[in-house]
Amino acid sequence: MVYDIIIIGGGPAGLAAGIYAKRALMITLLIEKVGIGGQIIKTHMLENYPGFPEISGMELMQKMEEHVNKFELEIKFTEVLQIKDGGSVKTVVTSDGEIETKTVIIATGTHPKSLGIPGEQEFMGKGVSTCATCDGFFFKDKDVALVGGGDSAIVEALFLTKMVNKVYVIHRRDELRAEKINQEKAFNNPKIEFVWNSNLIAIEGKDTVEKAVVKNKLTEEITELSVGGVFMYVGIKPNTDFVDADKDETGFIITKPDLSTSIPGVFCAGDCRTTLIRQVATAVGDGALAAVSAEKYITEQEQQ
């Protein structure tokens, strides 16, 4: 069997692509490595997705999954290892075998970066976390550190203040990149203390985290913060190693206006492509456009 469209990734972009592909009566398969939802399920609260003034990432993705199920989208849980370009038919190589398709939509999203500092991997799951929503409860009434200054970092810092005693926000610059509304909330929160122009250089402890070692970039002064946990929000890396399409220097896939890649018949949607912003709203729009573009590509190929 040859599918019309194979979508790789079960986050907002992949699910939106699935809805549009099924509505176009395309024979469609969605492949997901871990579980439906993507990184957004770790977000405690969204306030900028149209139609939902406040909704958790988990709840929003449950609603999207219900929507997809309405169209009986076929979903397979396995890992994609490679995409072979065979011209009019591509072969998606997975851990469970090979699957043929006319087009592919890559919507594999991203994963958190690591700093590569002493103690980071040693204490992962023992006080070091990349998900405040998942693990915040374990640090009730403790002091914690959070590294980062982007939107995810500040939103999660605000979430942590509901349960922890204090949040040290360690940021390498002297200003934040987060949305202004979230910056304002953070600056006005008495439980948040900013450690500006600083890098986290080590995480120390015995069985669990006890200290965050911070170095000021301007003065080179080293400070030890007594904390029970460290939350890492130091950027993201795209999940694109399995595909040989043209990418930028950091691995994000380069796309044209119709979201096609350098491989004919292969499209890319959501956070794993080069884009100005990475939000659920833009990922959903990408998924819709990629599915429409894939359908158009199939039609054009059949007419030749």
Helix (H), strand (E), coil (C) string for the chain: CEEEEEEECCCHHHHHHHHHHHHCCCCEEEEECCCCCCHHHHCCCECCECCECCECHHHHHHHHHHHHHHCCCEEEECCEEEEEEECCEEEEEECCEEEEEEEEEECCCEEECCCCCCCCCCCECCCEECCHHHHHHHHCCCEEEEECCCHHHHHHHHHHCCCCCEEEEECCCCCCCCCHHHHHHHHCCCCEEEECCEEEEEEEECCCEEEEEEEECCCCCEEEEECCEEEECCCEEECCCCCCCCECCCCCECCCCCCECCCCCEEECHHHECCCCCCHHHHHHHHHHHHHHHHHHHHHHHHC
pLDDT mean values, one per 10 residues, the chain (304 residues): 97 98 98 93 87 93 96 97 94 98 98 95 95 91 97 94 97 95 97 98 97 98 98 95 97 98 98 94 97 97 88
Tell me the per-residue pLDDT of 262-275, one tens digit each, with 9 for 90 and over.
999 999 999 999 99
Instruction: Check for a shared fold between 2-111+237-303 and 114-232.
Output: yes
Give the dihedral of Cα atoms 218, 220, 225, 228; nearest 10 deg: 90
For this structure, is 268 an active site residue? no
> Domains of the chain: which residue ranges?
2-111+237-303, 114-232
Domain 114-232 class in CATH: alpha beta
Identify the pLDDT of residue 14.
Answer: 98
* From 4, 85, 96, 131, active-site residue: 131
**Hey, how many other C-beta atoms are within 10 angstroms of the C-beta on 226?**
11
Angle, helix 280-303 to helix 12-23, in steps of 10 degrees: 40
Indicate yes or no: pTM above 0.85.
Answer: yes
**How many CA atoms, within 13 angstroms, populate the side-chain half-sphere of residue 266?**
27
* From 96, 134, 174, 248, active-site residue: 134
For this structure, is 134 an active site residue? yes
Identify the pLDDT of residue 251.
Answer: 97
Identify the pLDDT of residue 42.
Answer: 83
Identify the pLDDT of residue 77.
Answer: 98
- Report the CATH fold assignment for 2-111+237-303: FAD/NAD(P)-binding domain (3.50.50)
Identify the pLDDT of residue 44.
Answer: 79
**Hey, how many other C-beta atoms are within 10 angstroms of the C-beta on 301?**
14
For this structure, is 141 an active site residue? no
User: Distance (Å, rounded) from C-alpha 218 to C-alpha 28?
Assistant: 54
Give the dihedral of Cα atoms 20, 242, 235, 202; nearest 10 deg: 150
Identify the pLDDT of residue 93.
Answer: 98
User: Distance (Å, rounded) from C-alpha 100 to C-alpha 204?
Assistant: 50
> Which tokens go with 175?
């200003």
Task: Report whether 146 contacts 230 (CB < 8 A).
Answer: yes
Identify the pLDDT of residue 197.
Answer: 98
Tell me the per-residue pLDDT of 120-143, one tens digit each, with 9 for 90 and over.
999 999 999 999 988 999 999 999
* From 135, 151, 271, 286, active-site residue: 135
What φ, ψ does residue 90 adopt, rounded to 5°?
A: -100, 150
Q: Both ends of the chain: CA-CA distance in Å?
A: 22
